[in-house]
A and B are shown apart, each in its own frame.
Chain A
Amino acid sequence: MITIDHVSKQYGATTVVDDVSMHIERNSICAIVGSSGSGKTTLLRMINRLVEPSSGRILIDGKDAAQEPPHLLRRRIGYVIQGHGLFPHRSVADNIATVPRLLGWDAARIAARVTTLLEALDLEPANFAHKFPHQLSGGQQQRVGVARALAAEPALLLMDEPFGALDPIIRNKAQDDLLAIQRKFGTTVVLVTHDIDEAFRLGDRVAVMSAGRVLQSGRPAELLRAPADPLVARMIGTSDRALRLLSLTTAGEAALAGTATGPQVAASASLREVLSELVWRGAEGATVLDAAGQPIGQLSVAAILARGRSA
């Protein structure tokens, strides 16, 4: 989907992004994590050309992004920023309709799309379409920001600290919503965050940036098991890395054949949650049920612990 090929950005003598190469798969979520000043936002903005690279190329679906007029490129790419950036003088519906209007969709198609998106984001259309941004809560504003970015059915969605302004409880819900939306629309997401937990929770792949360079990029489990750089190891932390590893695998993925006598757990639960449940109940094993409630296998404490080992 996106190939970042030896991209650098200099402002005068300062190098903000330093020779970054990366590949982002279609239909995946790539989380770029780093402290402030690591160059992660600049890297993200080079994908939709809000910032022009000093050198290197960015290919989107095999085509060089630099070949297309930037404003036309941006209309194909969803963009969500911290603090949502909603237009305060426009209603929720008008905010969401921004890009479809730029693309010249007809009114009926726009109205239908606005309704679809509001429903997908748990915002009752009759209730919210005509409200103005200042009449919404922070969490609702954030959801409208996501709906606006998805309005023109982009294949690619860029998110710059999208949940940074939310309090922890709403943030968890927003992260779940993003995962659900990503699955529903099959959008490729590139997300920038300073929060390593958020990156691990959302990213199919995580890229750790510092001082303009990508220190390591890979699946969360790879980063946990084999941090390539001391800074990566420090950011991830070592005290609970086994439990973090368990939280990356679902019960459905790890289930073994057979049934167990202990509690029943959902296939979508993480191994960390299953282990917690088993410890709590003092049981040795759990039966894993699919979404329809049918048993699909079992998990023992020993099997779960084996999944949390370093290799």
Chain B
Amino acid sequence: MLQRLRPDRLGLVLTGSGLVALLWLPFVVFKSNRIVPGDPHALLEVLTTPAALACLAAWILVAIAALWSRHAGLRLGAALLGIMMLAWAIAAACNALTPAGNQVVRIAPGSGFWLLLVSLALVATDAVTRLQPRPAQRVLLLALVIAALSGAFAAGLFDNLSMMREYAVNAERFGRELRTHLLLALGSLAAALLVATPIGILCHRVPWLRAGVLGALNFIQTIPAIALFGILMVPLAALAAASPTAAALGIQGIGAAPAVVALFLYSLLPIVANMVTGLGRVSPSAVLAARGMGMTAGQILARVELPLALPVILTGIRIVLVQNIGLVAIAALIGAGGLGAFIFQGIGQAAIDLVLLGTLPIIAISFGVAVLLDAFIETIDRVPR
């Protein structure tokens, strides 16, 4: 494994930053309640000596692997070991600093923790990229990570962490906002699919429509999200005022209605554009053969054109889904709910833990969705381009 003495460049950068994080940056921040500024603590002053030594030993091993090993599997294993040690260390630090039974103190991860986490995550993703795992292996890896995280949370490993303290207070609301968040993202995607599919097929069939439709959708894409929410308030409020049915359906100037409409509008361009590209790449001779063998127009679309365009169409759907999961966070500003509600509430109260409670799940869900859809697209795309 130690083929050459010259260290790996990425390993060098990451080991250096890890060293800085470990020695000079605060690992945890202790706050006597949720809004006061905290006292920084280094890792080595919080942990018991044997625990600190175990941590150090583990990270030295990780650093050696990152610096000198060219074996991607070994690097991945080392990075995952490092991340597990990090999780254990932050949990141990929290438990050590929390006075028994005290629900008021807040112990948050410090900049040292985050820098170490980012460094280790970079080593891990770099190793995964080098390993070039097959789709099924990527999904398996994702499932293992989710299982490990769920296990750690279920076992209460992080219960004394500030973010989890916020979660404990807001547990019921968190579930509700998470559901709202997913419902808004998926609902607007579903509505966009229903509308964009016929538009995409039409644009493919009628070339002179293409430039106009894509241009209009492109224009919508350039409107900033927050401005679009504002623009939509006026017509939707007017609609609710004019039509009792619309009002009864929950349509109003603020809340979920403008959010869904805006996300729906943003979703159209990627789906329509990818549909046009995907259908355009279908081999003309396959379509001619299908027609010559007696398929009807509907059968050609369903059995030849759409299946052959599916990988490209799914790439559009992946873009939309990841984009929507992020954009829903902003929709909380106009009262649509979702995990963004925690973010804006946290910003308002200067409670960074609450911001993280909203942000980290959004990142995790986006990441998971992207991995799953990418794996699925690669699996069905067996036709070489």
Contact (A89, B308) CB under 8 Å given A81-B285, A134-B383 = yes
Mask of A72-86 contacts with B, CB within 8 angstroms, 1/0: 111110010111111
Residues 285 to 305 of chain A near chain B (Cβ within 8 Å): none
> Is B286 a contact partner of A72 (Cβ separation < 8 A)?
no
Residues of B within 8 A of A86 (CB): 286, 289
Taking CB as reference atom, which chain B residue is nearest A85?
Answer: B289
B290 CB contact (under 8 Å) in A87, A88, A132, A145: A87
> Is A74 a contact partner of B286 (Cβ separation < 8 A)?
no
B288 CB contact (under 8 Å) in A73, A76, A81, A88: A81
- B376 CB to nearest chain A CB (Å): 15
Q: Flag the segment in B45-53, B293-301, B331-339 that touches A.
A: B293-301
Taking CB as reference atom, which chain A residue is nearest B384?
Answer: A134
> Is B384 a contact partner of A85 (Cβ separation < 8 A)?
no
Taking CB as reference atom, which chain A residue is nearest B287?
Answer: A85
Mask of A147-162 contacts with B, CB within 8 angstroms, 1/0: 0110000000010000
> Is A71 a contact partner of B283 (Cβ separation < 8 A)?
no
Taking CB as reference atom, which chain A residue is nearest B292?
Answer: A79
CA distance A183 to B38 in the complex (A): 92
Residues 248 to 277 of chain A near chain B (Cβ within 8 Å): none
CA distance A34 to B379 in the complex (A): 45
* A210 interface hit (Cβ, 8 Å): no
Q: How many residues on the B side are at the interface (Cβ–Cβ under 8 A)?
A: 19
> Is A81 a contact partner of B289 (Cβ separation < 8 A)?
yes
> Is A79 a contact partner of B382 (Cβ separation < 8 A)?
no
* A99 interface hit (Cβ, 8 Å): yes
Residues 167 to 223 of chain A near chain B (Cβ within 8 Å): none
Residues 38 to 81 of chain A near chain B (Cβ within 8 Å): 48, 50, 70-76, 79, 81
CA distance A94 to B33 in the complex (A): 67
Residues of A within 8 A of B304 (CB): 87
CA distance A149 to B295 in the complex (A): 13
> Is A98 a contact partner of B283 (Cβ separation < 8 A)?
no
* A13 interface hit (Cβ, 8 Å): no
- Besides A87-B304, A158-B292, 7 other A-B contacts (C-beta < 8 A): A71-B295, A81-B292, A83-B285, A85-B290, A88-B308, A89-B308, A134-B383
Chain A to chain B contacts (Cβ below 8 Å), 28 pairs: A50-B292, A71-B295, A72-B294, A74-B291, A74-B292, A75-B294, A76-B294, A81-B285, A85-B283, A85-B285, A85-B286, A85-B288, A86-B286, A86-B289, A87-B289, A87-B308, A88-B286, A88-B383, A89-B308, A89-B382, A98-B293, A98-B295, A102-B294, A134-B383, A145-B289, A148-B293, A149-B293, A158-B292
